[in-house]
Structure 1
Amino acid sequence: MNNAPGRRVGLVILGLLSLGDIATIFLTDGDNPPYAVAVLALVLGLVSLGLVVQAFRDPSRSLRLLIGLRVLSAVAALPAFFVDDVPAGAEVAAAAIVVLTAVGILLTARTHTAAVAS
C-alpha cells in the first residue's frame, strides 16, 4: 500500500500524540486534567498507538479508525480553553495537541495522485 514519506511523517506525529495521551495518566494531579479525562486519554492513546503500528503495515485497514480516535482526542482537549482555572501550560498543551493532530491527519490522509498528461 502507499506509504509515502508524508504519510510516514503523519503517522509518527500521530504516534507521538498517542504516547502523550498515555503519559497523561501519570502527569495528572486529579484536577488538571481530571482523572476521568486522563483515563479517556489513556484508552485513546493505547488504541491509537496500536493503530499507528498497524497503519505502518497496512494503512487501508486502520487509517479511518486512527483518524477518528485522534480527532476525538483533540476534541477532548478543547475544554481547556473554556473551563476556568486551567493553567496556562495546559492551554498551550491543548493548543499543540489540536494543531499537531490536524497536521498529522492531513499528512496521513493525503493521498498521492500522479499528474495526468494530456
Structure 2
Amino acid sequence: MSAAVRTGLVLLGLLSLVDVVGVFTTDGTNPPMSIAVLGTVLGLISLVLIWWAWRGERWPTVALVVVRLVSAATAVPAFFVGDVPGGVVVFAGALVLLTLVGCGLVLPALRRAGAGAR
C-alpha cells in the first residue's frame, strides 16, 4: 500500500471520527439530530471499513468511498438553508473538501487492485 493510500485512509478515518462524535456535539438544530445520528452510523461503518481496507482488501475500499461520499452529501444542505450560521457552513465545506481529497487519495488502490486481478 502506497503512502498516499495510507494518508487517504487516515484522513477518511479522522473524518469518520468527526462523524461519530457529531451526535454528541449537535444542538439539535445545526446539524439536525437526524443528520447527526446518520453521521454517527456512517462514521462507525466507515471505521470498520477502514480497518478492512488497511489490510489491502478491495471491496471495503470501494464501500468506504461510497459511505464517505454519502456522509459528505449530508453536509450539502448547509449551503442552501438560510438560517445556518457561517461557521457551520465553513465547517461543512471543509468536511466535503477533505472527503473528496481522502477519496481521491485511496482511488489509486482500486485501480491497482483491479489491474492486478486480471
TM-score, normalized by length of structure 1?
Answer: 0.89
**Match among 74, 77, 87 for residue 76 of structure 1:** 74
Aligned-residue sequence identity (percent) comes to 48
Match of 2:83, SS state, is coil
| Partner residue, 1:60 | 58
Large movers: runs of 4+ above 4 Å: none
Greater helix fraction, Structure 1 or Structure 2: 2
Q: Count residues in correspondence.
A: 111
Q: Which residue of 2 aligns with 1:116?
A: none
Query: Is it true that 1:97 corresponds to 2:95 in the alignment?
Result: yes
Q: What letter matches 2:80 in structure 1?
A: F
**Partner Cα separation in structure 2 for residue 31 and residue 75 of structure 1:** 18
Structure 1 position 59, deviation (Å): 3.1
CA distance in 2, matches of 1:63, 1:40: 20
Instruction: Please name the residue that 2:33 is paired with.
Output: 35
Q: What is the SS of the residue equivalent to 1:38?
A: helix
Structure of greater Rg: 1
Q: Give the unaligned 5+ runs of structure 2.
A: 113-118
How large is the Cα RMSD of the aligned pairs? 1.3
